[in-house]
Structure 1
Amino acid sequence: MSTITDVAREAGVSVATVSRALRGLDRVSPRTRERVLKVANELDYVASPTATSLASGRTQVVGVVAPFLTRWFFATLVSAIEKTLRQHDHHVLLFDLEDDTYDQRLPLSQNMLWKRVDGVITLNLPMTQDELDLVDRLGLPLVAIGTPVADRPNVRIDEAQAMRTATEHLVSLGHERIAYIGAVPSNKAHIRTPQARLDAFREVMQSHGLAEHKQWILGSDWSADSASADTHTLLASDDRPTAIAAASDEMAIGAMAAARAQGLHIPEDLSVIGIDDHALSNVLGLTTVRQDVAAQGRQAAEILLRSLGVATDGGDETEVVVPTELVIRASTAPPTAL
């Protein structure tokens, strides 16, 4: 295997010049840089990432921090971020802060970040003041996806508008007896998105003078299994809704499974709508409010790369709101008499 010394000898320059040329630093003439790159390619020389990191102080790694990674939403974000960073020879180091319980998370620590990453992207994660102080102390740029982080760039959708669109669609079809699934306990790890969507649901119901049934506001851990179990209990009652607005497609899919297990037909007996446009939503015929999850990951990665001076394309956005759109499929229709 060729070494940097071999490249220097063949190119007729010093080892330091080879290092500067391969790292794209100044004080190397274009002609010399071209010769070094040609020789390095001919000798199949690849610079050691560790050595490059020690010399530059950069790791070319971005820390991606999530409250958990077992949901389609988070996996899709991570995939888009990694692909975007890879185009600029940067990569992802994942930090899954999931604890043993859904309503808590592990803290972000100095051992996770120090000398390991050049920047941080958070995925729908409220940050504590101690965590913000840590990131500032380490001098790491941070971009937040979803839940905003104070004074940092943010890429998100309008959570409230997405749920307003979903609920208004059900109301426009004539539904008045509408349940909601996706309420969660008040906790620092997950409260922002669930609360914004629940508030928007209530706002639409009130604006149309429709009654909110407390027993129809279902809690969930935002998984299909949990939603299915909760919906099964709801639909077993004689006093059941004609429609369900789910705060995510995964919960909507769970609700649809529960309804069908009880012999109900969708949408004749029950309309169901979600938010996301999950990978399975089209094949299952689920009406949803689509958000472009991958686009959010790409834009967050691009903003971070610009803050690192790696990428120059694009503007100086501090807040990007990605639009959503209603996608009508087979899971919603006007209500029939109970």
Structure 2
Amino acid sequence: MGSSTDRLNMADVAALAGVSKATVSRVLSGAPGVSDATRARIKALVKDLSYVVSPDAARLSRGSTGRVAVVMPRTTTWFYGAVLSGALSVLRPAGLDALVYQVADDAESRGFFADLPVQRQVDAVIVVAFPVSDFERRQLDLLGVPVVVAGGALPGQAHVRIDDAAAARQAVTHLLELGHSRIAMINAAVPAEWPYAPPVDRLRGYRTALEEAGPGFDPRLVVDVPWSTAMGAEGMDRLLRVPRRPTAVFAFCDEVAMGALRSLRRAGIVVPEDMSVIGIDDHPMADLWDLTTVRQPVEEQGVRAARMALALLGGSAPADRHPVLPTELIIRGTTAASA
């Protein structure tokens, strides 16, 4: 290699050794998880190349960058802002900076995760409520740092969430107790290749409540709509075209419920006299809309995720790696007895 060795970096060593950059990092820091043969081969290669670990690489290998990545699909909606606020309230006093990464679509997400093991120098990652593919999960594993999920779950990783199926049952049971039997659902569409638990679990809770109470499940009353600001209005417009329209609607979240209320108002359908509407979240605007909802502790999910990340960084296992936070039915003015 001659005089070019002074320009080598950890990625070059990994390429020459035929291993991942994370493996080189573990060898240089003396961390476990690498076979003796691979460790000896990398050490010999580093010695032959006169490789010198850069300060940033050394900090990364010791897990002391002082930075935590917070990855989310959007930063402008209330849910994600509230989770981030909760996480920052824990990370800042601990002296850690939060690097916020927005992965707004599939292409952006894949590009971000493809570069993550090499370019993102962080001590831990907090993933906030979005679908993670098998490829992206493998990329997170390559980082070799703690990963915590807020508002969802990943196999093998710590997470904090609500019981989405139970929250949906709370919402639908409330409507059933009011005498409604034709209860529709506006759900978030989830492509098969991008598994994401909350829409699947909320649909399961909705269906279970209907089947246990007697009316039964009618797939024609479920509309799946890709996420957008107009999702609730679009879903409600589709439900209003059903030959025998529902008397109540369960919305995936409060923002979707608010969109549904707009469509109902424009159609001249009076809420709750003609149709009841319920959501999940207890969004700050829910009270102004007089919206009945199932409250979930959103900011607390960020707090708990950050605390788990700190515990893992400190080398101690959290007392509970998979806490499930409680939800609460909040009855307001958008639900009433069936006419």
TM-score higher than 0.5? yes
Query: 1:53 Cα shift?
Result: 5.2
Give 1:38-57 correspondences, 5 Å limit. none
Percent of residue pairs bearing the same amino acid type: 36
1:83 aligns with 2:89: yes
Out of 70-79 and 295-304, give the one that drifted further. 70-79
1:325 to 299, 312, 328: 328
Change (3 A) 1:56 1:150: closer
1:106 aligns with 2:110: yes
Out of 292-301 and 56-65, give the one that drifted further. 56-65
Query: 1:246 Cα shift?
Result: 0.8
Instruction: Tell me, in whole angstroms, the C-alpha distance in 2 between the residues paired with 1:226 and 1:131.
Output: 27
Instruction: Tell me, in whole angstroms, the C-alpha distance in 2 between the residues paired with 1:54 and 1:171.
Output: 54
Query: 1:214 Cα shift?
Result: 3.0
1:73 to 79, 93, 96: 79
The match for 2:278 is: 273
1:106 aligned counterpart, secondary structure: helix
| Counterpart code for 2:98 | V
Contact 1:66 1:97 in 2 (8 A): yes
Change (3 A) 1:55 1:95: closer
Contact 1:182 1:222 in 2 (8 A): no
1:117 aligned counterpart, secondary structure: coil
2:115 aligned counterpart, secondary structure: helix
Change (3 A) 1:59 1:216: same
Instruction: Tell me, in whole angstroms, the C-alpha distance in 1 between the residues paired with 2:130 and 2:61.
Output: 33
Instruction: Tell me, in whole angstroms, the C-alpha distance in 2 between the residues paired with 1:179 and 1:67.
Output: 27
Out of 104-113 and 76-85, give the one that drifted further. 104-113
Query: 1:69 Cα shift?
Result: 3.5
1:213 aligns with 2:218: yes
The match for 1:15 is: none
Give 1:160-179 correspondences, 5 Å limit. 160-179=165-184
Query: 1:329 Cα shift?
Result: 0.5
Instruction: Tell me, in whole angstroms, the C-alpha distance in 2 between the residues paired with 1:156 and 1:54.
Output: 29
The match for 2:312 is: 307
| Counterpart code for 2:69 | G
The match for 2:100 is: 94
Contact 2:278 2:334 in 1 (8 A): yes
The match for 1:26 is: none
Change (3 A) 1:100 1:54: closer
2:259 to 229, 254, 258: 254
Query: 1:93 Cα shift?
Result: 1.1
Out of 104-113 and 73-82, give the one that drifted further. 104-113
**What is the CA deviation profile of residues 9-30 of structure 1, one whole-angstrom value per residue up to 9, with x for unaligned ones?**
xxxxxxxxxxxxxxxxxxxxxx
Instruction: Tell me, in whole angstroms, the C-alpha distance in 1 between the residues paired with 2:109 and 2:172.
Output: 31
**RMSD between superposed Cα atoms in Å:** 2.7
Out of 218-227 and 316-325, give the one that drifted further. 218-227
Out of 185-194 and 72-81, give the one that drifted further. 185-194
Query: 1:275 Cα shift?
Result: 0.5
Change (3 A) 1:109 1:229: closer
1:284 aligns with 2:268: no
2:287 aligned counterpart, secondary structure: coil
1:62 aligns with 2:68: yes
| Counterpart code for 1:69 | T
**What is the CA deviation profile of residues 131-181 of structure 1, one whole-angstrom value per residue up to 9, with x for unaligned ones?**
344333332111112322222211010010000000000000000111111
- TM-score by structure 2 length? 0.76
2:142 to 137, 143, 158: 137
1:274 aligned counterpart, secondary structure: strand
Query: 1:296 Cα shift?
Result: 0.5
The match for 2:46 is: none
Change (3 A) 1:88 1:332: same
| Counterpart code for 1:303 | M
2:152 aligned counterpart, secondary structure: coil
Query: 1:235 Cα shift?
Result: 2.1
1:199 aligned counterpart, secondary structure: helix
**What is the CA deviation profile of residues 85-105 of structure 1, one whole-angstrom value per residue up to 9, with x for unaligned ones?**
11111121122222268xx94
Change (3 A) 1:321 1:129: same
Q: Specify which structure has the higher proportion of helix.
A: 2
Instruction: Tell me, in whole angstroms, the C-alpha distance in 2 between the residues paired with 1:327 and 1:212.
Output: 25
The match for 2:236 is: 231
Contact 2:159 2:322 in 1 (8 A): yes
Change (3 A) 1:318 1:231: same
Query: 1:107 Cα shift?
Result: 5.0
